[in-house]
Structure 1
Amino acid sequence: MKKEFINKHGSIRNSNLELYRIVVMLLIVAHHFVVNSGLLDVMYEHTLSVNSIFLFLFGAWGKTGINCFMLITGYFMCKSNITLRKYVKMISEVLFYNIFISLLFLVFGIGSIKDVLEGLLIVRKVDSSNFIACFLVFYLFIPFLNILLQNINQKQHQYLIGLLAFLYVFLGTMPKFSVVMNYVSWFSFLYIVAAYVRLYSINNRKWGYWTTLFILFAIMSVIICLILGDKFDKQIAYRFVSDSNTFLAFAIGFCSFMFFKDLKINKSGLINTIGGSTFGVLCIHANSDTMRKWLWGTILNVKGAYYLSIERLILFSIISVLGVFIICIIIEIIRQKLVENRILSWIEKSTIYGKINERVELL
């Protein structure tokens, strides 16, 4: 009997979308390689050097990657229900890494007691600087979003998308407008978009072409903004991909999602296992400021690598991102095998879990 692979949303894993998760997480790690390492300071000092242009393009896709992950969530969850077990599973993963990593740093004299205590507060800030906290808060809105989407017709769904797209994407991209946005509301918009694709079976064989086109536009925007920024002494390289609600970040995310959604590949246990561990990659390598400084500064000395020849810099960048990704995947798979079920079993035996679960099932 063929083995089925179940994702964290309770659906059978599609290897095409799991491959998409892998690609997207690699792009997010590459983004952090650039923006969390102190490289930007050096890059803006030598804006139009070959090394700077490469690094600006190498790290330009992090906010786009967030859109990609949320579209996957909306696509699966619009026809599913959250359960207390699913939510506790995510929270326990985040808490495990927060506590484990901060304690490990404390033992080796890198961190502090304050880091350990802050690790217990998984929702300290709900803004664009804390994707995980925003995602955990957003997840609680899914049952209500599903009720909304199940009780409107296709035309109303289209109007809702159009209204939100105008507010967040169009006005958010225009230079003279200031749109107050937090990730919880933005994730809701992406969820509504992905749900429309799923509920009304939207397909098109040209999504690969559109993805390529928008990526080329994004590359051009970065290069043009680098030239203009150098001329007017402005740091605007990522002006049109700087946040998730900019048009190009949204367009690339949506078109690439549509491309991978319909990509025909055979089911792969390896791809599914790695894809199912990508959330752990985020929890580990972007765990805290201490982790960022230690990983990108102390261990890899990314900032110092800027002065390598372009050939060596490209090789160093790719190997560093792949290395961080692979090591985090291995750690996460070990956690899943040795720790996750034990923690969940212990939590599910508690009285408070049973009482909360009774109320959740009433939703």
Structure 2
Amino acid sequence: MNKFLGKNTPSIRESNMELLRVLCMLFIVCGHITLAHKSDLMGDSSYYINYFFRSFAVVAVNVYVLISGYYGIKLKVKKLGEINTMVTVYSVLFVLFSLWVGIHELQIRKDFLFLFPVITKQYWFITVYFVLCFLSPFLNLFIDKIDKKNLERLLLTLFACFCLLPTFSFLFNFPSITEDAGYGIVNFCFLYLLGRYIRLYYRRNFSKYVYWIGYGIAALGLCIFQLSYSYILGFPFTSLWSYDTFFVFIGAIFLFMYFREIKIRSRLINYVATYALSVYVLHFHPLTFSYFFNDILKVQKYEGWEYVVLLVILPVFIYVVCMGVEFLRRCCFLAIKECINGSRLNRF
């Protein structure tokens, strides 16, 4: 490829997993739109639309962790510091914004926590991901030491305890082992180890399109099963959208495996993917989430096919807007850094 790019031009790294990151963030935004819409009236068109779209989108978080495990996290305190700075800046700015527009009243004891959003879990994914990063050197060492057979036994045990058992616990309404619906470090560690296993040992045995079909079947199966179970129970059943349940787990694996097998190289995709985490932070602040989606975007007024179109288009729009906001923040921070470095040089 370099002969076409030029001898001194660096090759473009593969973009399949970067595209998957972007797709999963669009899925996350789509899922959050369904949360904001809040259509729980059984039989209503939006009720079915929410079940359909969310069943396809709910795999996103698990896929993100699988990607981290696949490539292996190399703990870099500087990188985590940059993420912490980004999260803190937006956390504080949105508190100020919510006070300014009058959707929040100042509560010093509670609002003080927004100065430390990572350790106070203002964004649950960021906090748990930070913990995973700090555990990653030990998880990587463990993978290096354990043999394939014992790793497979461990993964099967984890699958039974933290995926199959929670699935049955939701169906029959008894407590699972973790009781965190897969939002905790246990599920993240399991998926991380599984991602490492796939990278080190798994070899494809059939067409990549089997994975794509498998993802579709898992999502449709989740949708149909929950709708059917809802009618049996007489109320909306949504528990199988938890991240530690069978359909979500299998769907995430299939989607991840499909993108693992495709080959794409694009500087644009790689660049756009660098904004994925900031999109999550910008659109999901606890004080402004409802205000943006319900008061500004008014997602609840959309029904039928208009709502379908909204769920397809709005996540892309939000991603682009958040990219623009984060681009401006990066430019501002770069300018401040250059000013500081320049002033230091002038002293000498």
CA 1:69–1:344: 2 relative to 1, 3 Å = farther
Measured after TM superposition, the shift of residue 22 of structure 1 is: 1.0
Q: Tell me whether 1:44 sits opposite 2:43 in the alignment.
A: no
Q: How far apart, in 1, do the equivalents of 2:125 and 2:186 lie?
A: 12
For 1:82, what is the secondary structure of its paired residue? coil
CA 1:147–1:117: 2 relative to 1, 3 Å = same
Q: How far apart, in 2, do the equivalents of 1:279 and 1:204 lie?
A: 33
2:209 counterpart letter in structure 1: G
TM-score (norm 2): 0.84
Tell me what 1:352 maps to: none
1:299 counterpart letter in structure 2: I
Measured after TM superposition, the shift of residue 61 of structure 1 is: 4.0
Tell me what 1:230 maps to: 231
- Contiguous gaps of at least 5 residues in structure 1: 6-12, 347-363
Q: How far apart, in 2, do the equivalents of 1:281 and 1:255 lie?
A: 25
**For the Cα contact (< 8 Å) 1:281–1:328, is it kept in 2?**
yes
- 1:253-278, CA deviations, whole angstroms, 9 ceiling, x for partnerless residues? 1121111112112x211111111110
What is the 5 A alignment of 1:298-313?
Answer: 298-306=295-303, 310-313=304-307
**For the Cα contact (< 8 Å) 2:14–2:263, is it kept in 1?**
no
Tell me what 1:219 maps to: 220
**For the Cα contact (< 8 Å) 1:18–1:272, is it kept in 2?**
yes
Tell me what 2:19 maps to: 19
Q: How far apart, in 1, do the equivalents of 2:339 and 2:68 lie?
A: 25
Count of residue pairs the alignment pairs up: 325
Tell me what 2:62 maps to: 67
Q: How far apart, in 2, do the equivalents of 1:208 and 1:86 lie?
A: 36
Q: How far apart, in 1, do the equivalents of 2:40 and 2:24 lie?
A: 26
Q: How far apart, in 2, do the equivalents of 1:225 and 1:256 lie?
A: 20
For 2:288, what is the secondary structure of its paired residue? helix
**For the Cα contact (< 8 Å) 1:18–1:271, is it kept in 2?**
yes
CA 1:340–1:291: 2 relative to 1, 3 Å = farther
**For the Cα contact (< 8 Å) 2:59–2:252, is it kept in 1?**
yes
Q: How far apart, in 1, do the equivalents of 2:217 and 2:28 lie?
A: 19
CA 1:50–1:295: 2 relative to 1, 3 Å = same
Q: Tell me whether 1:56 sits opposite 2:51 in the alignment.
A: yes
**For the Cα contact (< 8 Å) 1:18–1:275, is it kept in 2?**
yes
CA 1:22–1:76: 2 relative to 1, 3 Å = same
Tell me what 1:91 maps to: 84
- Contiguous gaps of at least 5 residues in structure 2: 1-7, 341-348
For 1:71, what is the secondary structure of its paired residue? helix
Q: How far apart, in 2, do the equivalents of 1:343 and 1:233 lie?
A: 59
**For the Cα contact (< 8 Å) 1:53–1:223, is it kept in 2?**
no
- 1:284-321, CA deviations, whole angstroms, 9 ceiling, x for partnerless residues? 10121x22111111111111223xxx232222332322
Q: Tell me whether 1:270 sits opposite 2:271 in the alignment.
A: no
Q: How far apart, in 1, do the equivalents of 2:336 and 2:248 lie?
A: 39
Q: How far apart, in 1, do the equivalents of 2:189 and 2:23 lie?
A: 23
Measured after TM superposition, the shift of residue 169 of structure 1 is: 1.1
2:113 counterpart letter in structure 1: E
Which runs of at least 4 in structure 1 moved beyond 4 Å after TM superposition? 124-127, 340-346
Tell me what 1:322 maps to: 316
For 1:140, what is the secondary structure of its paired residue? helix
Q: Tell me whether 1:108 sits opposite 2:76 in the alignment.
A: no
What is the 5 A alignment of 1:109-128?
Answer: 109-114=102-107, 116-123=111-118
1:295 counterpart letter in structure 2: F
Tell me what 1:152 maps to: 146
TM-score (norm 1): 0.81
Tell me what 2:3 maps to: none
